[in-house]
């Protein structure tokens, strides 16, 4: 299904008079991959005192993560009420219909300006909750910039992250320019822009931002998150040497490696299909002070699946499930692909168990093709025909001869000539990849059952689909007539072979 390109966010920012900065944009934009190295730093305001722990709140696991010392401490009941109110606003906004709804009426109806006056924390929390719909979050931030107090640097960093998720690196650079025009930038702001370029594949822009961070005396030197973003960038770009050099630079800087560092390195080796190095980094984690998390185990699951290491893949699945309580559909499909491509004990049973985890919309065309082939290879005709019917229903087109030959072999081994004939008719109508082997197999099976008229009609089918008769075509017919004791017709076929210039096999003589 084709999708219309998303509307650029730059006109939205300018139309509302929100881009007043006369400061020239320090970075150009270009376009990069998905979020892989989440930042562990938070954009504290410049020259602020050390962060004070948020007030205790038994229900506030998520709230404490987005608390900012820029806002005054709130009593526990106020923090809980504020969080509930923001969650209600977020739920209402996420339920708005349409691809790009206007959030302003809902924000005003839920008294968001009043909520913002209570604490700027409301904006940070709301923007965090709108990550599933980043363009909606950016529209909310545009409205928020018309309110008082002005957005803090942490809000700009979150907005840049939303622009990255919306695949709008130009908007991210514009927000960065606005933030630096009114605030003294910090490492987190630079990291947000680097991550935006990294996630949209803009290697040069990301490197330029990193070097700008190194030169900016208002900030400290690049932190571990800055290096992690570069490592992820080089890994996604298959620049393994640069990735490893950046890792050495991180070690030389004195910053300890974090879970984000190891995950970015593992992802880079996975992308480059360097299974030994991927495994070595994972073993280093197990032996060191940084424990693998669910993301690590899922990365290893994908790597083992692509490498055909089924036993290790199953171990990674168990570890990921233990950490997160679930494994997402993307990795379920990776496991299915591995079971289909690589022979393994009880693989059909394991495939059936994983298929129960998929919904109707979770299938992909390539998965249907792999399932057809694996059932064919296992000689399970009923299961193969079920997958063929599903593929035909969803207009999946098989384009590889290998899959078609697997289907032919399955029918031939079961001596199911009528099922083969029906399949060939379906394949012709659906536009699947046809091959001469389809028709030769039909002829062999018809000849075996002495259904010679139907065997002859296959020649017309071949001619209809532009398949010329070969020496094998005539040889199949000759053997069919000989097996029926019809020597005259068999000799006629030999004459036709001579006529077409194929000659006679050395073991055959005309009688």
How many C-beta atoms surround the C-beta of residue 474 within 10 A? Answer: 20
Comparing CA positions, the residue from 393, 331, 381, 388 lying closest to residue 357 is: 331
Helical H segments across 19-152, by residue range: 61-65, 76-94, 104-109, 112-118, 121-129, 134-144
From 361, 360, 309, 359, select the one nearest 335 (Cα to Cα).
309
CA dihedral 171, 176, 177, 183 (to 10 degrees): 150
- 98 DSSP assignment: S
**Contact by Cβ (8 Å): 426, 419:** no
| Count of C-beta atoms within a 10 Å radius of residue 179 | 26
Structure-token match 């992909």, residue found: 364
Residue 176 has a pLDDT of: 97
Q: What is the DSSP letter of 50?
A: P
Give me the count of residues in the chain: 511
Tens of pLDDT along the chain (511 residues)? 444 444 444 444 444 443 443 333 333 333 333 344 444 333 333 333 333 333 333 333 333 333 344 445 544 446 788 889 999 999 999 999 988 899 999 999 999 998 888 888 899 999 999 999 999 999 999 999 999 889 999 999 999 999 999 999 999 999 999 999 999 999 999 999 999 999 999 999 999 999 999 999 999 899 999 999 999 999 999 999 999 999 999 999 999 999 999 999 999 999 999 999 999 999 999 998 899 999 999 999 999 999 999 999 999 999 999 998 889 999 999 999 999 999 988 999 999 999 999 998 899 999 999 999 999 999 999 999 999 999 999 999 999 999 999 999 999 999 999 999 999 999 999 999 999 999 999 999 999 999 999 999 999 999 999 999 999 999 999 899 998 888 888 888 888 888 777 766 666 655 5
Is omega for the bond preceding 149 within 30 degrees of 0, making it cis? yes
> SS3 for 240?
helix
Q: Which residue, 498, 499, 486, is CA-closest to 455?
A: 486
Q: How far is CA 128 from CA 110, 341, 434, in A?
A: 18, 40, 52
Listed residue (176, 172, 154) closest to 163, CA to CA = 172
Q: Tell me the C-alpha to C-alpha distance, in Å, between residue 180 and each of 5, 15, 241.
A: 30, 21, 33
């Amino acid at each position: 299904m084709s999708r219309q390109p998303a509307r650029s966010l730059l006109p939205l920012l300018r139309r509302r008079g929100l881009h007043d900065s006369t400061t020239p944009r320090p970075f150009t934009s270009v376009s990069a991959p998905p979020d892989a190295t989440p930042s562990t730093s938070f954009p504290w305001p410049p020259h602020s005192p050390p962060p004070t722990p948020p007030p205790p709140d038994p229900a506030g696991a998520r709230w404490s993560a987005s608390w900012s010392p820029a806002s005054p401490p709130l009593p526990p009941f106020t923090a809980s009420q504020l969080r509930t109110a923001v969650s209600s606003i977020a739920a209402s906004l996420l339920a708005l219909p349409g691809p790009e709804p206007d959030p302003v009426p809902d924000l005003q109806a839920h008294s968001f300006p009043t909520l913002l006056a209570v604490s700027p924390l409301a904006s940070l929390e709301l923007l965090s909750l709108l990550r599933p719909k980043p363009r909606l979050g950016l529209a909310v931030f545009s409205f928020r910039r018309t309110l008082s107090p002005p957005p803090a640097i942490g809000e700009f960093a979150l907005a840049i992250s939303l622009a990255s998720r919306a695949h709008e690196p130009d908007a991210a650079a514009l927000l960065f320019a606005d933030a630096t025009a009114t605030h003294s930038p910090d490492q987190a702001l630079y990291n947000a822009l680097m991550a935006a370029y990294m996630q949209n594949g803009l290697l040069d822009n990301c490197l330029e931002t990193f070097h700008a961070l190194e030169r900016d005396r208002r900030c400290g030197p690049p932190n571990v998150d800055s290096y992690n973003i570069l490592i992820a960038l080089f890994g996604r770009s298959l620049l393994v040497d640069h990735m490893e050099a950046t890792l050495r630079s991180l070690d030389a800087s004195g910053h300890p490696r974090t879970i984000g560092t190891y995950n970015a390195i593992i992802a880079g080796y996975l992308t480059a299909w360097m299974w030994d190095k991927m495994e070595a980094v994972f073993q280093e984690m197990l032996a060191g002070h940084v424990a693998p998390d669910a993301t690590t185990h899922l990365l290893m699951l994908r790597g083992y699946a692509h490498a055909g290491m089924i036993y290790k893949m199953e171990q990674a699945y168990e570890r990921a499930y233990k950490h997160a309580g679930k494994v997402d559909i993307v990795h379920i499909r990776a496991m299915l692909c591995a079971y289909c491509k690589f022979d393994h004990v009880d693989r059909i049973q394991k495939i059936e168990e994983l298929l129960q985890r998929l919904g109707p919309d979770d299938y992909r065309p390539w998965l249907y093709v792999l399932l057809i082939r694996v059932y064919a290879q296992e000689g399970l005709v009923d299961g193969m025909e079920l997958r063929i019917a599903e593929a035909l229903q969803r207009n999946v087109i098989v384009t590889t001869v290998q899959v078609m030959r697997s289907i032919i072999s399955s029918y031939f081994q079961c001596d199911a000539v009528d099922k083969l004939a029906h399949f060939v008719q379906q394949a012709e109508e659906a536009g699947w990849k046809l091959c001469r082997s389809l028709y030769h197999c039909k002829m062999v099976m018809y000849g075996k059952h002495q259904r010679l008229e139907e065997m002859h009609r296959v020649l017309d089918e071949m001619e209809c689909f532009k398949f010329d008769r070969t020496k094998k075509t005539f040889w199949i017919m000759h053997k069919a007539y000989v097996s029926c004791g019809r020597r005259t017709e068999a000799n006629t076929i030999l004459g036709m072979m001579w006529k077409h210039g194929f000659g006679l096999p050395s073991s055959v003589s005309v009688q």
